[in-house]
Amino acid sequence: MKDRKLILVSNDDGVDARGLENLINMVLPYGDVFVVAPEKGQSGMSHSISLLEPLRTRKIKIGTELSIIAVSGTPVDCVKLAINQLLPRKPDLMVSGINHGSNSAISVIYSGTMGAAIETSLYGIPSIGFSVLDHSKDADFSLVVKHGTKIIEDVLENGLPPQVSLNVNFPVTDEKNYRGFKICKQTTGVWKEEFDKRTDPYGGDYYWLTGDFHNFEPGNEESDEWALANNYASVVPVKIDFTEYNTINELKKRIK
Amino acid sequence: MKDRKLILVSNDDGVDARGLENLINMVLPYGDVFVVAPEKGQSGMSHSISLLEPLRTRKIKIGTELSIIAVSGTPVDCVKLAINQLLPRKPDLMVSGINHGSNSAISVIYSGTMGAAIETSLYGIPSIGFSVLDHSKDADFSLVVKHGTKIIEDVLENGLPPQVSLNVNFPVTDEKNYRGFKICKQTTGVWKEEFDKRTDPYGGDYYWLTGDFHNFEPGNEESDEWALANNYASVVPVKIDFTEYNTINELKKRIK
């Protein structure tokens, strides 16, 4: 076959996750697939990189149409190692996920799934992160598998602007009630934590992180939270520039 | 004393880092200081949170003017635990650092120092991350100690807009050549990695992450990289919205 596309796949739930298996099957019809995924679960690892530990790799499968390599580090480590060391050439597309759990709103900044997708986009490679709003191991991926290929086909055909990735989240619903894709903005809000304080059998205290999302714009129909609550799959184009431009001029007057 | 300010301090180099000690001394004149910092070094941990491990705390010092608690997790864990569990009330200011090494340009997304500052800003608390462009343990913090208080005083007096933090980086230079603060935008660019591949004594391969920053806008005098290269301390106002608004309309035409 000539002009085969090369597709990089990663995730944050680890190389054994069902979501990854589903995503591999989604992209196999579109090209040669190279999976570089974390050896262990990396939920909540955000954009972290391994500076204090070296990385180890484990070849699970090496083939023409499908290769799978596990990496001892984070999702972003996987992407850096894949692009700079493991892949035979620059990939045409990168997909991340399917994440077990939501990466909408501010959760995008804690997400290892989106960390991997965003890191890929920095290299000028179009990337898509897929998530479903179900944390369980038994999450139902059927809506993503059926409809997510539409996004994959669009990006393979039309690309994305430089350094842009897509954050795609699917609601928990059925085919009948699913309303299609909605292009959105990231919802403004914050997770309010209520730590679960416990005592171990030896008298030591420890804390588990739990919390609820507080939506600062619950009625905004352009936001991803609104879309998901209304049974749309949300699609947020993502680009990394943390600069708050609106504040620059005021600060210039204050600080010299 | 009445109306004492409460100042939260954290970092990513760990509770024993010299940069943290310097920062504590910088803010002690301005109020009661509560330090909640990682037990161990957390460089490159970005905005990661501990979902798979519970958090442990260790009280190093509890006092009226200065308390220090070490946490087993990441910088963002420290902030969440501080605000939701450990602090007596909502703090008036949070400072993070002083980081040993640069957090300018795209490095802001990998930075645990800025992860902690950004997380704090999400709660509506003004926060400032301080870094110097010197990774070494013996980094010279004298410029930050002398001039950084100007930023602290400004933010204590004037505040910051909601959900905005400051990313402040100091160049490696001396008092004579230091040119003051410059309010900037985050420089666009990418780290290009060249992994250092080694073999352990037992024949196993491992990789160390190394790399160089590629600046996409080297001549932009409004960028933080330009400011630092010209002996200014860069001040970038930071707000988290990953949405790439410029792409929304095009995607709305393509994906429905």
Of the pLDDT bands very low, low, confident and very high (cuts 50, 70, 90), residue A1 is: very low
Of the pLDDT bands very low, low, confident and very high (cuts 50, 70, 90), residue A131 is: very high
The pLDDT value given to residue B256? 82
| Within-domain flag for A86 | yes
| Within-domain flag for A42 | yes
| Within-domain flag for B234 | yes
Q: Which residues of B touch A181 (CB under 8 A)?
A: 255-256
The region of weakest confidence among A93-102, A120-129, B203-212 is B203-212
Sheet holding A165-170, edge to edge: A57-61, A66-71, A32-38, A6-10, A93-100, A127-132, A165-170, A233-238, A181-183
| Within-domain flag for B105 | yes
The pLDDT value given to residue A159? 96
Find the CB nearest B255 among A122, A167, A183: A183
Tokens of B41: 């070094």
Q: Counting every residue, how long is chain A?
A: 256
CATH code, A63: 3.40.1210.10
Mean pLDDT confidence for B101-114: 96
Interface of A with B in 27-56 (CB under 8 A): 41, 43-52, 54-56
pLDDT digits (tens, 9 = 90+) for A13-31: 999 999 999 999 999 999 9
- Is the CB of residue A80 less than 8 Å from the CB of residue B193? yes
Q: CB A242 to CB B164 under 8 A?
A: no
The pLDDT value given to residue B190? 92
The pLDDT value given to residue A121? 97
Q: What is the C-alpha separation between A30 and A153, in angstroms, rounded?
A: 8
| Within-domain flag for B149 | yes
Cα dihedral sign for B20, B21, B27, B31?
A: positive
* Stretch (H or E) spanning A198: strand A196-199
- Cis link prior to A98 (omega < 30° from 0)? yes
- In terms of residue numbers, what domain contains A116? 6-186+221-242
pLDDT digits (tens, 9 = 90+) for B12-43: 999 999 999 999 999 999 999 999 999 999 99
| Within-domain flag for B240 | yes
- Is the CB of residue B151 less than 8 Å from the CB of residue B168? yes
Q: Which residues of A touch B185 (CB under 8 A)?
A: 241, 243, 245, 248
The pLDDT value given to residue B127? 98
Q: Which residue has the higher pLDDT, A96 or B2?
A: A96
| Within-domain flag for A205 | no
The pLDDT value given to residue A256? 82
Of the pLDDT bands very low, low, confident and very high (cuts 50, 70, 90), residue B137 is: confident
The pLDDT value given to residue B33? 98
Q: CB A185 to CB B239 under 8 A?
A: no
The pLDDT value given to residue B1? 47
pLDDT of B2 higher than 90: no
Interface-testing mutation among B241, B245, B252, with chain A (most A C-beta atoms within 10 A)? B241
* Stretch (H or E) spanning A58: strand A57-61
pLDDT of A2 higher than 90: no
| Within-domain flag for A210 | no
The region of weakest confidence among A222-226, A252-256, B149-153, B219-223 is A252-256
Q: What is the DSSP string of chain B?
A: --S--EEEEE-SS-TT-HHHHHHHHHHGGGSEEEEEEESS--TT-TT---SSS-B-EEEEE--SSEEEEEESS-HHHHHHHIIIII-SS--SEEEEEEEES---GGGGGT-HHHHHHHHHHHTT--EEEEEES--STT---HHHHHHHHHHHHHHHHH---TT-EEEEEE-S--TTT---EEE-BPPPEEEEE--EEEE-TTS-EEEE--EEEEES-TT-TTBHHHHHHTTPEEEEEE----B-GGGHHHHHHH--
The pLDDT value given to residue A137? 85
Q: Which residues of B touch A54 (CB under 8 A)?
A: 198, 206-208
Mean pLDDT confidence for A188-195: 90
Q: Which residues of B touch A187 (CB under 8 A)?
A: none
Of the pLDDT bands very low, low, confident and very high (cuts 50, 70, 90), residue A3 is: confident
pLDDT digits (tens, 9 = 90+) for A44-84: 999 999 998 999 999 999 999 999 999 999 999 999 999 99
Q: Which residues of A touch B192 (CB under 8 A)?
A: 84
pLDDT of A216 higher than 80: yes
pLDDT digits (tens, 9 = 90+) for A140-183: 999 999 999 999 999 999 999 999 999 999 999 999 999 999 99
Tell me, what's the ipTM?
A: 0.91
Q: What distances in angstroms separate CA A89 from CA A3, A4, A34, A36, one per listed residue?
A: 13, 12, 11, 14
The pLDDT value given to residue B155? 97
B123 reaches A (C-beta below 8 A): yes
Of the pLDDT bands very low, low, confident and very high (cuts 50, 70, 90), residue B184 is: very high
pLDDT digits (tens, 9 = 90+) for B37-78: 999 999 999 999 999 899 999 999 999 999 999 999 999 999
Q: CB A48 to CB B44 under 8 A?
A: yes
pLDDT digits (tens, 9 = 90+) for A81-119: 999 999 999 999 999 999 999 999 999 999 999 999 999
Task: Give chain B's domain count.
Answer: 1
Buried b / exposed e along A119-133 (16+ C-beta atoms within 10 A): bbbbbebbbbbbbbb
The pLDDT value given to residue B3? 75
| Residue B181, CA atoms < 13 Å, CB-side half-sphere | 24
**Beta partners for A100?**
A132
Residue written as tokens 């990006």? A155
The pLDDT value given to residue A107? 94
Closest CA to A44 of A165, A250, A208: A208
Q: CB A252 to CB B41 under 8 A?
A: no
The pLDDT value given to residue B194? 84
